[in-house]
Amino acid sequence: MPVLHNRVNNEELKQRMLAETEPRTTVSFYKYFHIAEPTAFRDELYKQFVELQVFGRIYIAHEGINGQISVPANNFDTFKNTLYSLASELNGIRLNIAVDDDGKSFWVLRAKVRPKIVSDGINDPDFDPAKTGKYLKAKEYNELSEKPGTIVVDMRNHYEYEVGHFENAIEIPSDTFRDQLPMAAEMLKDKKDENIIMYCTGGIRCEKASAYLLHNGFKNVFHVEGGIIEYARKAKAEGLPLKFKGKNFVFDERLGERITEDVIAECHICGKPCDTHTNCLNDGCHLLFIQCEDCAAKYEGCCSAACMEEKNLPEEEQRIRRAGRENGPMIFNKSKDHPLRKHRKDWKTNK
Protein backbone atom coordinates (compact mmCIF):
# COMPACT_ATOMS: atom_id res chain seq x y z
CA MET A 1 0.00 0.00 0.00
CA PRO A 2 1.47 3.42 -0.93
CA VAL A 3 2.39 5.88 1.82
CA LEU A 4 -0.43 8.42 2.10
CA HIS A 5 1.40 11.06 4.10
CA ASN A 6 4.82 12.74 4.20
CA ARG A 7 7.63 11.06 6.16
CA VAL A 8 10.50 13.44 5.45
CA ASN A 9 11.69 16.23 7.74
CA ASN A 10 10.05 19.56 6.89
CA GLU A 11 13.32 21.50 6.81
CA GLU A 12 14.84 18.99 4.40
CA LEU A 13 11.80 19.24 2.17
CA LYS A 14 11.97 23.03 2.21
CA GLN A 15 15.64 22.99 1.19
CA ARG A 16 14.84 20.57 -1.63
CA MET A 17 12.14 22.92 -2.91
CA LEU A 18 14.43 25.96 -2.74
CA ALA A 19 17.07 24.04 -4.70
CA GLU A 20 14.69 23.17 -7.53
CA THR A 21 15.51 24.75 -10.87
CA GLU A 22 12.37 23.73 -12.75
CA PRO A 23 9.71 26.47 -12.57
CA ARG A 24 6.56 25.88 -10.58
CA THR A 25 3.10 27.42 -10.88
CA THR A 26 1.11 28.38 -7.77
CA VAL A 27 -2.60 27.67 -8.11
CA SER A 28 -5.68 27.81 -5.90
CA PHE A 29 -9.05 26.17 -6.49
CA TYR A 30 -12.22 25.23 -4.66
CA LYS A 31 -15.64 23.77 -5.30
CA TYR A 32 -18.72 23.36 -3.13
CA PHE A 33 -20.23 19.97 -3.96
CA HIS A 34 -21.21 16.87 -2.01
CA ILE A 35 -18.46 14.32 -1.37
CA ALA A 36 -19.98 11.14 0.05
CA GLU A 37 -16.70 9.61 1.31
CA PRO A 38 -14.17 12.37 1.98
CA THR A 39 -11.44 10.04 3.29
CA ALA A 40 -11.48 7.79 0.24
CA PHE A 41 -11.57 10.87 -2.00
CA ARG A 42 -8.61 12.36 -0.12
CA ASP A 43 -6.54 9.18 -0.41
CA GLU A 44 -7.07 8.88 -4.16
CA LEU A 45 -6.23 12.55 -4.68
CA TYR A 46 -3.10 12.28 -2.55
CA LYS A 47 -1.75 9.27 -4.46
CA GLN A 48 -2.18 10.93 -7.83
CA PHE A 49 -0.87 14.35 -6.79
CA VAL A 50 2.27 12.91 -5.16
CA GLU A 51 3.13 11.28 -8.48
CA LEU A 52 2.93 14.71 -10.11
CA GLN A 53 5.14 16.34 -7.42
CA VAL A 54 2.33 18.64 -6.31
CA PHE A 55 3.05 20.60 -3.11
CA GLY A 56 0.57 22.55 -1.00
CA ARG A 57 -2.45 22.14 1.24
CA ILE A 58 -5.81 20.66 0.31
CA TYR A 59 -8.87 20.43 2.54
CA ILE A 60 -11.66 17.99 1.80
CA ALA A 61 -15.07 17.74 3.48
CA HIS A 62 -18.57 16.53 2.71
CA GLU A 63 -19.26 20.06 1.40
CA GLY A 64 -16.42 20.12 -1.14
CA ILE A 65 -12.73 20.79 -1.73
CA ASN A 66 -10.36 23.74 -1.15
CA GLY A 67 -6.76 23.73 -2.34
CA GLN A 68 -3.72 25.97 -2.60
CA ILE A 69 -0.87 24.20 -4.36
CA SER A 70 2.20 24.53 -6.53
CA VAL A 71 2.92 22.19 -9.42
CA PRO A 72 5.94 21.80 -11.72
CA ALA A 73 5.23 23.74 -14.90
CA ASN A 74 5.78 20.70 -17.12
CA ASN A 75 3.21 18.73 -15.09
CA PHE A 76 0.56 21.44 -15.10
CA ASP A 77 -1.64 20.05 -17.87
CA THR A 78 -1.51 16.56 -16.37
CA PHE A 79 -2.37 17.97 -12.95
CA LYS A 80 -5.32 19.87 -14.39
CA ASN A 81 -6.67 16.79 -16.17
CA THR A 82 -6.17 14.70 -13.03
CA LEU A 83 -8.08 17.19 -10.88
CA TYR A 84 -10.88 17.42 -13.43
CA SER A 85 -11.22 13.64 -13.53
CA LEU A 86 -11.56 13.14 -9.75
CA ALA A 87 -15.28 14.02 -9.82
CA SER A 88 -17.70 15.18 -12.48
CA GLU A 89 -18.32 18.37 -10.46
CA LEU A 90 -14.60 19.24 -10.74
CA ASN A 91 -14.48 18.97 -14.52
CA GLY A 92 -13.55 22.41 -15.82
CA ILE A 93 -13.48 24.23 -12.46
CA ARG A 94 -11.67 27.55 -12.36
CA LEU A 95 -7.99 27.46 -11.43
CA ASN A 96 -6.73 30.71 -9.92
CA ILE A 97 -3.16 31.23 -11.15
CA ALA A 98 -1.05 33.35 -8.78
CA VAL A 99 -0.42 36.91 -9.94
CA ASP A 100 3.04 37.48 -8.42
CA ASP A 101 4.68 34.07 -8.23
CA ASP A 102 8.23 32.78 -7.83
CA GLY A 103 7.02 29.18 -7.48
CA LYS A 104 8.47 28.88 -3.96
CA SER A 105 5.13 28.84 -2.17
CA PHE A 106 4.97 25.27 -0.76
CA TRP A 107 7.41 22.43 -0.17
CA VAL A 108 5.22 19.48 0.87
CA LEU A 109 1.77 18.12 0.04
CA ARG A 110 -0.74 17.98 2.87
CA ALA A 111 -4.25 16.74 2.16
CA LYS A 112 -6.62 16.70 5.13
CA VAL A 113 -10.23 15.74 5.76
CA ARG A 114 -12.09 18.37 7.76
CA PRO A 115 -15.68 18.93 8.93
CA LYS A 116 -15.91 21.87 6.48
CA ILE A 117 -13.59 23.35 3.87
CA VAL A 118 -14.28 26.78 5.39
CA SER A 119 -15.14 26.92 9.09
CA ASP A 120 -18.30 29.02 9.27
CA GLY A 121 -20.14 28.22 12.52
CA ILE A 122 -23.36 27.64 10.57
CA ASN A 123 -25.53 24.84 11.98
CA ASP A 124 -28.75 25.60 10.07
CA PRO A 125 -29.63 22.43 8.11
CA ASP A 126 -31.50 24.53 5.55
CA PHE A 127 -28.44 26.56 4.62
CA ASP A 128 -27.05 25.59 1.21
CA PRO A 129 -23.58 27.00 0.39
CA ALA A 130 -24.19 26.21 -3.29
CA LYS A 131 -27.02 28.80 -3.49
CA THR A 132 -24.73 31.75 -3.97
CA GLY A 133 -24.90 35.29 -5.22
CA LYS A 134 -24.11 36.28 -8.79
CA TYR A 135 -20.55 36.06 -10.08
CA LEU A 136 -18.89 39.28 -11.22
CA LYS A 137 -16.01 39.22 -13.67
CA ALA A 138 -13.42 41.99 -13.51
CA LYS A 139 -15.15 44.35 -15.95
CA GLU A 140 -18.54 43.71 -14.31
CA TYR A 141 -17.06 44.43 -10.89
CA ASN A 142 -15.62 47.75 -12.05
CA GLU A 143 -18.93 48.81 -13.53
CA LEU A 144 -21.15 47.77 -10.62
CA SER A 145 -18.81 49.09 -7.93
CA GLU A 146 -19.04 52.57 -9.47
CA LYS A 147 -22.83 52.70 -9.32
CA PRO A 148 -24.23 54.89 -6.52
CA GLY A 149 -25.34 52.91 -3.48
CA THR A 150 -23.25 49.80 -4.23
CA ILE A 151 -21.65 48.38 -1.08
CA VAL A 152 -18.34 46.51 -1.34
CA VAL A 153 -17.59 44.12 1.53
CA ASP A 154 -14.19 42.56 2.31
CA MET A 155 -14.66 39.08 3.80
CA ARG A 156 -11.03 38.61 4.82
CA ASN A 157 -9.21 39.03 8.13
CA HIS A 158 -7.89 42.40 9.35
CA TYR A 159 -4.26 41.61 8.50
CA GLU A 160 -5.25 40.80 4.91
CA TYR A 161 -7.33 43.98 4.53
CA GLU A 162 -4.53 46.07 6.05
CA VAL A 163 -2.06 45.55 3.18
CA GLY A 164 -4.51 45.75 0.29
CA HIS A 165 -8.21 46.07 -0.51
CA PHE A 166 -10.68 47.29 -3.09
CA GLU A 167 -11.42 51.01 -3.16
CA ASN A 168 -14.13 52.00 -0.64
CA ALA A 169 -14.45 48.41 0.66
CA ILE A 170 -15.97 47.88 4.10
CA GLU A 171 -13.89 45.86 6.55
CA ILE A 172 -15.77 43.40 8.78
CA PRO A 173 -13.76 43.82 12.02
CA SER A 174 -13.34 40.25 13.19
CA ASP A 175 -10.49 37.74 13.40
CA THR A 176 -12.48 34.74 12.12
CA PHE A 177 -14.76 34.04 9.18
CA ARG A 178 -17.30 32.36 11.44
CA ASP A 179 -17.67 35.59 13.40
CA GLN A 180 -17.69 37.75 10.27
CA LEU A 181 -20.77 36.10 8.76
CA PRO A 182 -23.32 37.17 11.42
CA MET A 183 -21.45 40.46 11.89
CA ALA A 184 -21.75 41.27 8.18
CA ALA A 185 -25.46 40.46 8.22
CA GLU A 186 -25.95 42.72 11.24
CA MET A 187 -23.89 45.59 9.80
CA LEU A 188 -25.85 45.45 6.53
CA LYS A 189 -29.30 44.68 7.93
CA ASP A 190 -30.74 47.99 6.66
CA LYS A 191 -29.29 47.44 3.17
CA LYS A 192 -31.13 44.27 2.13
CA ASP A 193 -32.33 45.80 -1.15
CA GLU A 194 -28.99 47.42 -2.08
CA ASN A 195 -26.35 45.97 -4.41
CA ILE A 196 -23.81 44.23 -2.18
CA ILE A 197 -20.52 42.93 -3.61
CA MET A 198 -18.48 40.53 -1.48
CA TYR A 199 -14.90 39.50 -2.13
CA CYS A 200 -12.01 37.54 -0.65
CA THR A 201 -8.64 36.14 -1.76
CA GLY A 202 -9.67 33.37 -4.15
CA GLY A 203 -13.45 33.34 -3.92
CA ILE A 204 -14.18 30.56 -1.44
CA ARG A 205 -15.11 32.74 1.56
CA CYS A 206 -17.06 35.40 -0.31
CA GLU A 207 -18.99 32.73 -2.21
CA LYS A 208 -20.20 31.19 1.04
CA ALA A 209 -20.78 34.66 2.50
CA SER A 210 -22.99 35.58 -0.46
CA ALA A 211 -25.03 32.42 0.12
CA TYR A 212 -25.32 33.34 3.81
CA LEU A 213 -26.68 36.81 3.05
CA LEU A 214 -29.18 35.42 0.55
CA HIS A 215 -30.23 32.86 3.16
CA ASN A 216 -30.87 35.80 5.52
CA GLY A 217 -33.13 37.75 3.17
CA PHE A 218 -30.74 39.95 1.22
CA LYS A 219 -31.87 40.46 -2.37
CA ASN A 220 -29.02 41.70 -4.58
CA VAL A 221 -25.84 39.91 -3.57
CA PHE A 222 -22.79 39.54 -5.79
CA HIS A 223 -19.30 38.16 -5.34
CA VAL A 224 -16.10 38.58 -7.31
CA GLU A 225 -15.45 35.51 -9.43
CA GLY A 226 -12.16 33.96 -8.38
CA GLY A 227 -11.63 36.62 -5.73
CA ILE A 228 -8.78 39.11 -5.84
CA ILE A 229 -6.46 36.68 -7.64
CA GLU A 230 -8.71 36.19 -10.66
CA TYR A 231 -9.85 39.82 -10.67
CA ALA A 232 -6.27 41.11 -10.84
CA ARG A 233 -5.28 38.63 -13.55
CA LYS A 234 -8.28 39.44 -15.75
CA ALA A 235 -8.11 43.21 -15.16
CA LYS A 236 -4.46 43.31 -16.17
CA ALA A 237 -5.02 41.06 -19.19
CA GLU A 238 -7.94 43.22 -20.38
CA GLY A 239 -6.28 46.55 -19.63
CA LEU A 240 -8.92 47.56 -17.08
CA PRO A 241 -8.39 50.08 -14.27
CA LEU A 242 -7.35 48.21 -11.12
CA LYS A 243 -9.82 48.91 -8.33
CA PHE A 244 -7.80 46.81 -5.89
CA LYS A 245 -4.93 48.73 -4.30
CA GLY A 246 -1.84 47.32 -2.64
CA LYS A 247 -0.87 43.75 -1.91
CA ASN A 248 -2.98 40.59 -1.76
CA PHE A 249 -2.13 38.55 1.35
CA VAL A 250 -1.72 34.83 0.59
CA PHE A 251 -1.42 31.88 2.95
CA ASP A 252 1.85 30.40 1.78
CA GLU A 253 5.56 31.14 2.05
CA ARG A 254 5.17 34.32 -0.04
CA LEU A 255 2.74 35.95 2.46
CA GLY A 256 1.61 38.31 -0.27
CA GLU A 257 1.48 39.02 -3.99
CA ARG A 258 1.73 42.58 -5.27
CA ILE A 259 -1.27 43.80 -7.26
CA THR A 260 -0.37 47.50 -7.50
CA GLU A 261 2.62 49.53 -6.34
CA ASP A 262 0.50 51.30 -3.70
CA VAL A 263 1.79 50.69 -0.16
CA ILE A 264 -1.18 51.38 2.09
CA ALA A 265 0.06 49.75 5.33
CA GLU A 266 2.88 50.66 7.70
CA CYS A 267 5.56 48.97 9.77
CA HIS A 268 4.03 47.88 13.06
CA ILE A 269 7.17 48.98 14.92
CA CYS A 270 8.14 52.37 13.52
CA GLY A 271 5.20 53.40 11.34
CA LYS A 272 7.17 53.70 8.10
CA PRO A 273 5.16 52.84 4.93
CA CYS A 274 5.53 49.10 4.51
CA ASP A 275 3.39 46.07 3.60
CA THR A 276 5.82 43.19 4.15
CA HIS A 277 4.45 40.55 6.50
CA THR A 278 6.88 38.39 8.41
CA ASN A 279 6.91 36.02 11.39
CA CYS A 280 8.96 36.94 14.44
CA LEU A 281 12.15 34.83 14.39
CA ASN A 282 11.93 34.15 18.11
CA ASP A 283 10.78 30.53 18.37
CA GLY A 284 8.82 31.47 21.48
CA CYS A 285 6.75 34.03 19.57
CA HIS A 286 6.45 33.70 15.75
CA LEU A 287 4.08 36.68 15.70
CA LEU A 288 2.80 37.55 12.21
CA PHE A 289 3.31 41.28 11.76
CA ILE A 290 4.45 43.95 9.29
CA GLN A 291 8.10 44.98 9.48
CA CYS A 292 10.24 47.29 7.35
CA GLU A 293 13.83 46.48 6.35
CA ASP A 294 15.34 48.91 8.87
CA CYS A 295 13.44 47.40 11.80
CA ALA A 296 14.15 43.88 10.55
CA ALA A 297 17.87 44.70 10.71
CA LYS A 298 17.63 46.49 14.06
CA TYR A 299 15.68 43.70 15.75
CA GLU A 300 17.16 40.79 13.77
CA GLY A 301 13.79 39.79 12.32
CA CYS A 302 12.08 39.86 15.72
CA CYS A 303 9.04 41.92 16.73
CA SER A 304 10.71 43.55 19.73
CA ALA A 305 13.97 43.93 21.66
CA ALA A 306 12.67 41.38 24.18
CA CYS A 307 12.12 38.77 21.48
CA MET A 308 15.52 39.52 19.95
CA GLU A 309 17.14 39.00 23.35
CA GLU A 310 15.32 35.70 23.83
CA LYS A 311 16.22 34.51 20.31
CA ASN A 312 19.91 35.01 21.06
CA LEU A 313 19.92 33.04 24.31
CA PRO A 314 21.40 29.52 24.41
CA GLU A 315 18.92 26.99 23.04
CA GLU A 316 18.42 25.33 26.42
CA GLU A 317 17.55 28.67 28.05
CA GLN A 318 15.08 29.39 25.24
CA ARG A 319 13.38 26.05 25.85
CA ILE A 320 13.12 26.76 29.58
CA ARG A 321 11.49 30.14 28.89
CA ARG A 322 9.04 28.64 26.40
CA ALA A 323 7.99 25.82 28.74
CA GLY A 324 4.40 26.30 29.83
CA ARG A 325 4.00 29.49 27.84
CA GLU A 326 0.55 29.84 26.32
CA ASN A 327 0.28 31.85 23.12
CA GLY A 328 -3.01 32.90 21.61
CA PRO A 329 -3.43 33.60 17.90
CA MET A 330 -0.02 35.07 17.05
CA ILE A 331 -1.20 37.74 14.65
CA PHE A 332 -0.74 41.44 15.32
CA ASN A 333 -4.05 43.28 15.62
CA LYS A 334 -3.93 47.05 16.09
CA SER A 335 -7.28 47.00 17.86
CA LYS A 336 -6.23 44.56 20.58
CA ASP A 337 -3.81 44.68 23.47
CA HIS A 338 -0.47 43.21 22.43
CA PRO A 339 3.06 43.88 23.73
CA LEU A 340 4.06 45.14 20.27
CA ARG A 341 1.62 48.05 20.65
CA LYS A 342 3.41 49.20 23.83
CA HIS A 343 6.78 48.62 22.18
CA ARG A 344 5.73 50.80 19.26
CA LYS A 345 4.63 53.61 21.58
CA ASP A 346 7.95 53.37 23.42
CA TRP A 347 9.85 53.43 20.12
CA LYS A 348 8.06 56.58 18.98
CA THR A 349 8.70 58.26 22.34
CA ASN A 350 12.42 57.43 22.45
CA LYS A 351 13.41 57.57 18.78
The residues annotated as belonging to the active site are 200
Find the DSSP H helices in the chain. Answer: 10-19, 38-51, 76-85, 138-145, 158-163, 177-187, 204-215, 227-237, 293-298, 305-311, 315-322, 339-350
Is residue 191 left, alpha or beta, with left meaning phi > 0 and alpha meaning psi from -120 to 50? Answer: alpha
SS3 for 310? helix
R_g (Cα) of the chain, nearest Å: 21
Minimal CA–CA distance to 118: which of 210, 215, 40, 204?
204
Neighbours of 31 (CB within 10 A): 20
Distance CA 270, CA 125 (A): 49
CA 330 to chain centre: 16
CB atoms within 10 A of CB 345: 10
Give the Cβ contact number of residue 49 at 10 Å. 23
Please, are residues 90 and 31 in contact by the beta-carbon 8 Å criterion? yes
